[in-house]
Amino acid sequence: MAEPETVNGEKENKLWKGVFAVSGIMSTLVIYGVLQEKIMRVPYGLNKEFFKYSLFLVFCNRLTTSAVSAGALLASKKVLDPVAPVYKYCLISVTNILTTTCQYEALKYVSFPVQTLAKCAKMIPVMVWGTLIMQKKYKGFDYLVAFLVTLGCSVFILFPAGDDISPYNKGRENTVWGVSLMAGYLGFDGFTSTFQDKLFKGYNMEIHNQIFYTTLCSCVLSFTGLVLQGHLLLAVDFVSRHRDCLLDIALLSTVATASQFFISYTIRTFGALTFAAIMTTRQLASIMLSCIWFSHPLSWEQCIGSVIVFGSLYAKTLLNNNKISQNQPPPTELPQYEKAEGS
């Protein structure tokens, strides 16, 4: 009679872990998205000044994450030394900085809902990089889903509801520049995640170890970039004059760090498939929250594009879940066989 109670206890424990993971990822990344848009698109002060130093946000985020990950490694008494060549950590850092910079810069020209939905088109660059770097092979259905997701994103971007594209300028050319920045974001992001996967599989590496060294390299690179561009003192002067912007950046860095650890926990506990489903739901929640908070109108074409994107992703998730359940072996009669053998 104790065995059913044990099974129920394990299910309840897994349920609470799932609630913890979902609530952590949803809350941190949705807040991250709203803060990101607020910093880059909402003016500060009486003179309505815009914060334009996206690389400074990258530096603050990475500095906070590297400090927390170093503390986690020291507290758990795990390996702090690099377990892979340092240049491989730096390669991830460079592409990660380019990814984040393109993401922040794109917010000057396209709204956050457009950017959020465009992130769903990660599948194509990831498939391309996976084929080139990891020599992976994909099925026809995977390419179909990638095509439908890209189609939905294209419809969403090409048919905006209003003419107010950017707080800096208005015009079609800004949409093209914004889409170009998003294309750069998708390409760099696809390479980063694929190379991280290759690094994890090639070395016996702790998640915190990779987070620490990649973010540490990102700190050095972003700080160097700020100095060379002459933006470091300008950014410091801006946040010193606008304390509410400093508070927003501090919150953004804190939430970005928390999201990294929630993501690692989810992948370790439930696997990449469950994490992908959570992230898809998070994209939709981010869009809806941004539309409500910043009053972004949605055209009927954009609604159709959203349905195509999320419908395709959830269809793929459900199909994968069905395949996994069908491939699971039926319960064996081994305990009964052993009992009969013993009698």
CA 316 and chain centroid, separation: 19
The confidence score (pLDDT) of residue 109 equals 79
Q: Which of 189, 183, 193, 125 is nearest to 154 (CA)?
A: 183
- 3-class DSSP assignment, residue 131: helix
What separation in angstroms does the CA of 181 have from each of 129, 215, 252, 289, 338? 19, 22, 21, 23, 63
Measure the CA–CA gap between 163 and 170, rounded to whole angstroms. 7
Neighbours of 118 (CB within 10 A): 26
Domain-embedded: residue 250: yes
Distance, CA of 146 to CA of 317 (rounded, Å): 13
Q: 8 or 205: whose pLDDT is higher?
A: 205
What is the average per-residue pLDDT within 34-40?
85
| Residue-number span of the structural domain to which 164 is assigned | 21-324
Asked whether residue 238 is domain-assigned, the answer is yes
In whole angstroms, give the CA distance from residue 231 to residue 101: 14
pLDDT of residue 289 exceeding 90, the answer is no
Say which residues have a Cβ less than 8 Å from residue 102's Cβ, sequence separation at least 6.
181, 182, 184, 185, 188
Rg (CA), the chain: 23
Measured CA angle at 260 (ends 154, 116), to 5 deg:
15
- Assigned token pair, 252: 């953004």
Tell me how many domains the chain contains: 1
Tell me which of 127-141, 154-168, 310-324 is least confident: 154-168
154 or 6, which is more confident: 154
Tell me if 11 is assigned to some domain.
no
Average pLDDT over residues 316-322: 72
Rounded Cα distance between 329 and 154, Å, is 42
Does a structural domain hold residue 7? no
Is residue 334 in some structural domain?
Answer: no
Please provide residue 153's backbone torsions phi and psi, each rounded to the nearest 5 degrees: -65, -40
pLDDT, mean over the chain: 76
Supply the pLDDT for residue 235: 93
Amino acid found at 209: N
Q: Amino acid identity of 201? A: K
pLDDT higher for 297 or 246? 246
Q: Is the pLDDT of residue 49 over 80?
A: yes
- How long is the chain? 343
Q: Is 221 helix (H, G, I), strand (E, B) or coil?
A: helix
CA distance 149 to 312: 7
| 5 inside domain | no
Give the pLDDT band (50/70/90) at residue 60: very high
Q: Coil, helix or strand for 218?
A: helix
Let me know if residue 27 belongs to a domain.
yes
Identify how many contiguous H helices and E strands the chain contains and give both numbers.
13, 0
Q: What is the longest distance spanned by two Cα atoms in the chain?
A: 88
- Does the model's pTM come out above 0.85? no
Contact criterion met (CB below 8 Å) for 117 and 33 = no
Q: Give the DSSP letter of residue 83.
A: S
